[in-house]
Amino acid sequence: MSAGVGVNLENLWIRFGDFVAVRDANVNINGGDFFSFLGPSGCGKTTILRSVSGFLDPSEGRVLIGGNDMAGIGPNKRPTALIFQNLALFPLMKVWENITFSMEIKGASAKERRKRADELLDMIALPGQGDKLPSELSGGQKQRVAIARALCAEPDVLLLDEPLSALDLKLRQHMRTELREIQKRVGITFIYITHDQGEALTMSDNIAVMKAGIIDQIGDGKTVYNDPSTAFVASFVGENNVFRGKVKEIRGDEALIATNRSGDLVSRISTANQGKMNVGDEAMMFIRPEALSIAETGTSGDHFVTAKVNHEEFEGNSFNIFTEGDGGKEIKVSIPNLGQTFEDHTGQQITLEYETQNAVAVPAGELATE
Amino acid sequence: MKNGFLKNFYQHNGKVMGTALLVIISFWIGVLIILPQLSMLDYSLREYLPSGEVGDYTLKNYRHLIYGAEGASDPYNYVDLKVFMRTIIAAICVTIFNLILCYPIAFFLGQVAKGMKLRVFALLLIIPYWINEILRAFALKIIFGATGMINAVLIGMGILDEPFDFIRADIALYAGLGYAYILLMVFPMYNVIESLDGNQIEAARDLGAPWWRIHARIVIPYAKPGISSGATMVFMLSAGALAAPQILGGPSSLWFTQIIYQWFNDGGNWSQGAAYAIVLLTSCIIIVLAFMKLFKVNMGDIGK
Amino acid sequence: MNNLFLRVSIWVYLGIFFAYLLGPLVIMAITAFNSNGFPSVSPWECFTYAWFSELFQDERILNGIKNSIIVGIGTVIMSVTMGLAGALILTQVWPKLRATYYTIVIAPILVPGVVLGISTVVFWQRVNNWLGLGPDSILADGLFLTIIGQSTFIASYCMLVLVARLQRYDLTLNEAALDLGATHTQAFRKILLPFMMPALATSAVLAFLASFENYNTTTFTFGDYPTLTIELAQKVRYGISPAISALAFIIIVLTVFGALTNEALKRRKELQAAASGDTVKKVDGGFRLPAILSRNPAMIALIALVAVIGLSTVNAMSHNPAQCIADVKEERDMQRTLEAEANLRALAERRAAAAAARAAEAAANGEATEETAPATGGSSQTGGTGAFGNVFAPTNLDGAEEEPEAPEEAPASPFGSVFDPGNLSTAEPSGGN
């Protein structure tokens, strides 16, 4: 299994009665990838995961694992293992029995199972904890046991359903690194479900961003962050300032957008939309808070924005300025704290500056709600 | 749509387990619950033939309850009708008596008693329920007997001059029926009252509500599902009781179930017995449904 | 004041409630040891075990116990199985069907037992005929019919117990098992069943008890296999004997013992659970228990119940029942002799009086009546003492002696305990616990 086993979703539709949970999903997940489905709750990402693990039948389309159609194959026969959101450790079984449950099913002897459990416990850095009950473990330890239990089944694909959501922030950040390391070590395909863009960005080789049953964009972390293909992706992945307007002029891969309040601004057109945006189209332009900086007052042009400062805050690593925005929402400017002195701009008109390649234009669309 | 449910069900339970579950539940619901009742209904609508053969359809068995045997001197079957009415009314009285007796204990256990005390009281409540129904009736027969405890005490205190026949006066019977189903009244009420947030009571008390108002406005409305559940069970079981009336009933007064029993076991007329059983069942159900309607309770609350 | 009054009335109420609930059982248990042939407490004759040996020589009772156990085991198996299936389906049934389904499976609890019994007999007799089987086929068998009839409604009880536990079951555990390669059957056996075990045990015990004490249904179905309850009912209906009290005593002792053991086990488990989280608790947990016991009035009542039973046993050890019974018999014989003597004397006197009257009549003289009247009065008095003396004399004497003291205490005691604040404050700590 040099490259691991890939997973393909082909024209996948999943409906519950009249409700469409997944709409025409087409995803190719390479073998050995750490692949994330990222989206707000209720977007259908868990539904996709359940169809891959076999708990749900697709209404239309196919799920292929390692090139094999999985239709009619039950969850217990698929080469997948799922880590549940609540972990679903068996409460009445000891840790080692939990871990080696898949071997018990296959009829392995208690001795073999103990041995394997000890190996896996070493791997997850919980040596000698096999005889405890899950209730006696801490949150992070339970997490690792759940991973060991899934890995013990030697799956080709490991599915993880927001497994870190129940942990506190510190532990969550620690487990990110750990998960990524485990994935590299075992080399199998991980499919990871999360609503936390930080998790998705730090761990994944590739990310699919989902909204209301539709996959908006698939790409690696940088692409999704820097080159979003829809307004939703731009607003969901990371903080972003939005400027609404109409396309006034197309200049190659750049567009001049007549914004509603901030004048004409120039922006790069996101890769997926190049050649698809026309003059007069409703458009949205996104600039990250860290891509904006304060320019000298009085300067103007197609990459300058003038706005009145509402309030300011000091966040430690950065200094944030919030100004009146375009269409109700405030514009956030984030200036890295390098020891410089900050003046108080509250109530003043200031001019903000950005570089054209740091602004990205997409067709107008639904924004992620926070 | 039905297919969707079955498909889902099988996906959820697997072929073996799913089939096993369906077979077992069909056996229970179909063969044990529904078919016997239909069979009894069918029986009650047929002419009774001593030879054991299946007779023709007739309403004779039901007519008997109202008009009595053909050629009887009375226009109506006063004896049986009287017993029927007495059974229903007495069962309602027993239910009300139990409700009044058990509400305070349910409230006490649900809101006042805590920890160990609660457990011990619960234990004291449950233990009698584990004793055979016949033995419980027997215990009451002992203390209500002519030379029983109660007569001895009453005579000793000078209230009575000579033993009072509690059994002939049916007092023993009513006490026995109430006694038999105390637990069934307490527990549903307790379960509901226990889930009532004590702060509500505190708040009401804080606002100056007297204790009876707290019960009338907060606890009782909240406990309604439990009260109706307990009352339903006590009513149905009292009306359908057989052991207590047989043991504690006076020689001249019958309970309706005893008439059914006589038709069935002594008289050997199954059709007639089945008809009476159907009458008892349907009238009990109608009364319970009427009360549930009256007090706006759902069937789903029963048995909680 | 109002609050205190309420407090007291609560305890008075509790006293009455539990006296009603437990009193008859205690009295019944005590009558098992009275040699009086009618189960009673008040004319206490002698302490005896005779009723127990009579009980154990009663073939019908022993046979009834055997049948009850067979029926009980069969009913437990059937009703726990059906109850579990019913509970599992209830959690998955289509929401629209759920209310109907619930009503159907709960209905047997509410249907009068006689109706269930009759319908079971009627239905299976018909099935039997339809299949062309004879009257001695299994479908017409008392054991079969009783088990079937009882299971119909006992399964509903089991289902209620099981549903309560099943609602706390995390369905993803099942999915996790499937995902790890288990079949549905394996997931059921290895994950769900162990989880349900406590509730299954509870429902099995409940089912057995319900089966053991069932009368209304069984009385129609038992056929050639009368259960203990049926036998008891026959006995109780046609004359009562302290042997039944003896059986009741045994059942009560077993029940109390079972309940206390169960409670102790539960308590120990909780302490263990607490201890596994915090090792310090384990040490003082064991010591705290008696303190709670000694401060708890209800526990004291329970202990008193056990103590009464225990004491009566100890009492029996140091007591010779045979001697006492002989004494009582002698006393009764004595009484009878005295009565006979008294009757004789009265007869003689009456004759004498009649003779005197006749004589007087004959003489037509008032003097004769004067002579006989005192004699008649005196003789009736001696006759009274002879016949009723040993019943009334001691109480009369006691009453006479105590009477002068009574007025001093009587007004204080009945009201004092209610209104005297001093009494209340002493009552409070025991109540407040």
pLDDT at C264: 82
- Whether residue A179 sits in one domain with residue A283: no
Strand partners, A31: none
Instruction: Write the pLDDT tens digit of every residue in A120-140.
Output: 998 888 888 889 999 999 888
pLDDT at C159: 93
Is residue A307 within 8 A of residue A352, CB to CB? The reply is yes
pLDDT at A190: 92
Q: Label residue B116 by pLDDT band (50, 70, 90).
A: confident
Phi-psi region of B71 (alpha: psi -120 to 50; beta: other; left: phi over 0): left
Restricting to B residues 185-244, those with a Cβ less than 8 Å away from any Cβ of C are 211, 232-233, 236-237, 239-243
Give residues with Cβ within 8 angstroms of B227, minimum separation 6.
B99, B103, B188, B189, B192, B220
pLDDT at A219: 92
Across the interface, whether the CB atoms of A105 and C175 are under 8 A apart is answered: no
- Whether residue A36 sits in one domain with residue A162: yes
- Would strands A214-219 and A34-38 be described as parallel, antiparallel, or unpaired? unpaired
pLDDT, average across residues B250-258: 79
pLDDT by position in tens, chain C (length 433):
467 787 888 888 888 888 888 888 888 888 878 777 676 666 676 777 777 887 788 888 889 999 999 999 999 999 999 999 999 998 888 778 888 888 889 888 888 888 899 899 889 988 888 888 877 787 778 899 999 999 999 999 999 889 988 988 888 898 899 989 888 899 999 999 999 998 999 899 889 988 988 888 998 888 888 998 888 888 887 777 778 888 888 888 888 888 888 878 877 877 777 766 544 433 343 334 444 444 455 555 666 666 666 666 555 555 555 666 666 666 667 777 777 777 777 777 777 777 776 666 666 554 444 444 444 433 333 333 333 333 333 333 333 333 333 333 333 333 333 333 333 333 333 333 3
Q: Give C195's contacts in chain A (Cβ within 8 Å).
A: 91-92
pLDDT at C289: 42
Is residue A247 within 8 A of residue A255, CB to CB? The reply is yes
- Whether residue A269 sits in one domain with residue A148: no
More confident residue, C367 or A106: A106
Query: Domain range holding A206?
Result: 7-226
- Report the percent of chain A where pLDDT is more than 90: 29
Q: Give B236's contacts in chain C (Cβ within 8 Å).
A: 110-112
Across the interface, whether the CB atoms of C24 and B143 are under 8 A apart is answered: yes
Across the interface, whether the CB atoms of A88 and C186 are under 8 A apart is answered: no
pLDDT at B134: 84
Instruction: Indicate the average pLDDT of chain B.
Output: 81
- Which tokens is C129 given? 């005929």
Decide if A254 is inside a domain. yes
CATH topology of domain B72-301: MetI-like fold (1.10.3720)
Find tokens 């389309």 and name the residue.
A61
- Whether residue A74 sits in one domain with residue A151: yes
Across the interface, whether the CB atoms of C176 and A90 are under 8 A apart is answered: yes
- Which tokens is B241 given? 């009781």
Is residue C111 within 8 A of residue C153, CB to CB? The reply is yes
Amino acid at A284: M
CATH number of residue A334's parent domain? 2.40.50.100
Instruction: Answer with the one of A165, A197, A226 that is the final residue of a domain.
Output: A226
Across the interface, whether the CB atoms of C21 and B9 are under 8 A apart is answered: no
d(CA B61, CA B63): 5
* A136 near C CB under 8 A: yes
Is residue A322 within 8 A of residue A315, CB to CB? The reply is no
Across the interface, whether the CB atoms of C213 and B134 are under 8 A apart is answered: yes
Indicate if the pLDDT at residue A113 is higher than 80: yes
pLDDT, average across residues B272-281: 87
- Whether residue A156 sits in one domain with residue A15: yes
pLDDT, average across residues B183-206: 81
pLDDT at C57: 80
- Which tokens is C131 given? 């299949």
Helical residues (DSSP H) of chain A, grouped into ranges:
45-53, 95-99, 101-105, 110-123, 139-152, 169-186, 197-203, 221-226, 231-236
Decide if A242 is inside a domain. no
Identify which of B167, B144, B147, B166 has the alpha carbon closest to the alpha carbon of residue C391: B147
> Quick check: pTM over 0.90?
no
Find tokens 């400017």 and name the residue.
A333
Across the interface, of B25, B43, B233, the residue whose CB is closest to C85 is B25
- Which tokens is B249 given? 């009933």
Give residues with Cβ within 8 angstroms of B235, minimum separation 6.
B91, B92, B94, B95, B284, B287, B288, B291
Across the interface, of A80, A90, A153, the residue whose CB is closest to C191 is A90
CB atoms within 10 A of CB A109: 10
Q: Is the dihedral of CA C79, C84, C85, C91 positive or negative?
A: positive
More confident residue, A189 or B254: A189
SS3 A350: strand
d(CA C224, CA C67): 10
Across the interface, of B25, B39, B247, the residue whose CB is closest to C236 is B247
Q: Return the residue of B nearest to C211 by Cα.
A: B132
pLDDT at C87: 92
pLDDT at B191: 84
pLDDT at C299: 59
- Which tokens is C61 given? 């009772």
Is residue A268 within 8 A of residue A359, CB to CB? The reply is yes
CATH number of residue A131's parent domain? 3.40.50.300
Alpha carbon of A305: minimum distance to chain C alpha carbons (Å) = 52
pLDDT, average across residues B271-283: 87
pLDDT at C69: 94
- Report the percent of chain A where pLDDT is more than 70: 98
Across the interface, whether the CB atoms of C191 and A91 are under 8 A apart is answered: no
Q: Label residue B30 by pLDDT band (50, 70, 90).
A: very high
Decide if A232 is inside a domain. no
- Whether residue A269 sits in one domain with residue A145: no
pLDDT at C318: 53
Q: Label residue A3 by pLDDT band (50, 70, 90).
A: low
d(CA C146, CA C69): 12
Give residues with Cβ within 8 angstroms of C184, minimum separation 6.
B13, B14, B15, B16, B17, B18, C178
Instruction: Write the pLDDT tens digit of every residue in A24-75.
Output: 999 999 888 999 999 998 888 889 999 998 888 899 999 999 888 988 888 8
Across the interface, of B124, B141, B246, the residue whose CB is closest to C301 is B124
- Whether residue A260 sits in one domain with residue A194: no
Across the interface, whether the CB atoms of C10 and B280 are under 8 A apart is answered: no
pLDDT at B76: 74
Across the interface, whether the CB atoms of B116 and C299 are under 8 A apart is answered: yes
Please calculate the CA angle B17-B21-B23 and round it to the nearest 5 degrees.
115
* DSSP single-letter state for residue A180: H
CB atoms within 10 A of CB A328: 8
Across the interface, whether the CB atoms of A105 and C186 are under 8 A apart is answered: yes
Sheet with A293-295, strands from edge to edge, namely A293-295, A349-353, A304-314, A318-323, A331-336
- Whether residue A222 sits in one domain with residue A110: yes
Decide if A23 is inside a domain. yes
Decide if A97 is inside a domain. yes
Indicate if the pLDDT at residue B133 is higher than 60: yes
| Interface-testing mutation among B88, B130, B215, B248, with chain C (most C C-beta atoms within 10 A) | B130
Q: Give C175's contacts in chain A (Cβ within 8 Å).
A: 55, 75, 82, 84, 88
Q: Where in chain B is the domain with CATH 1.10.3720.10?
A: 72-301
Chain C adjacent subunits, 3+ CB pairs under 8 A: A, B
SS (H, E, C) A270-332: CHHHCCCCCCCCEEEEEECHHHCEEECCCCCCCCEEEEEEEEEEECCCEEEEEECCCCCCCEE
pLDDT, average across residues B95-108: 88
Decide if A163 is inside a domain. yes
Decide if A241 is inside a domain. no
Number of folded domains that form chain A: 2
Q: Give C258's contacts in chain B (Cβ within 8 Å).
A: 130
* DSSP single-letter state for residue A134: G
* DSSP single-letter state for residue A153: T
d(CA C107, CA B33): 9
- Would strands A60-65 and A293-295 be described as parallel, antiparallel, or unpaired? unpaired
Across the interface, whether the CB atoms of C102 and B300 are under 8 A apart is answered: yes
* B289 near C CB under 8 A: no
Question: Residue B184, exposed/middle/buried by CB under 10 A (0-12, 13-18, 19+)?
Answer: buried
Q: Label residue B28 by pLDDT band (50, 70, 90).
A: very high
pLDDT, average across residues A278-303: 86
pLDDT at A96: 92
Across the interface, whether the CB atoms of B120 and C89 are under 8 A apart is answered: no
* A105 near C CB under 8 A: yes
End-to-end CA distance of chain B: 30
Decide if A148 is inside a domain. yes
Give residues with Cβ within 8 angstroms of A300, minimum separation 6.
A263, A306, A351
Instruction: Answer with the one of A195, A226, A257 that is the final residue of a domain.
Output: A226
More confident residue, C76 or B168: C76
